[in-house]
Amino acid sequence: MTSQKQIEVVLSPGEFHFGDRHTRIRTLLGSCVAITLWHPRRLIGGMCHFLLPSRGGMAGDARPRDGHYGDEAMDLLLEKIAACGTQVQEYQAKLFGGGNMFAEMNKACLLDVGERNIESAHRMLGHHGVRAGPSCVGKNGYRNIFFDIATGHVWVRHVAEAKQAA
């Protein structure tokens, strides 16, 4: 009997990965959001790490999909899910990230990229009939995320942004 070695995949912004029970995925998130999708019976799943909700292209845009944008990253995951003969509603979803990395600047210009990313992720999942389970989103600071596809467990290390000296 041979045992398959566990592989670890490190996602950078704009990347995604879909794998089996021998895969562990990790990433570092600030205002970006990661969506994890896990199939509890088949022990397959994936994660995407996106920077912005969408690129706002025009209909019929011929550019290849880009994982930097939430809607396109979700489409890339959906392709992998379909290629496995499964449907996204069979998966458990979790959301991470969307931290407010620039609290003072965001207050001044009323722009919170992290919050927009979180809202977009919930909207995309809802559109496909998937509700996010336990998640760790928002607030200040960054997160280290570790997703073990064998168990579906996601470990989060959330480091809050230090208060600036007055």
Strands 92-97 and 44-50, bridge-based pairing: unpaired
Domains of the chain and CATH, by start: 28-54+65-92+111-166 (3.30.1330.200)
Q: Quote the distance between the C-alpha of residue 129 and its chain's center.
A: 17
Paired with 7 in beta bridges are: 23
Both tokens assigned to 52: 């912005």
Q: What is the pLDDT of residue 5?
A: 86
For 13, the token pair is 């912004």
Mean pLDDT by 10 residues, the chain (166 residues): 82 97 97 97 98 79 86 96 97 96 58 90 97 92 96 94 47
Identify the DSSP state of 123.
H
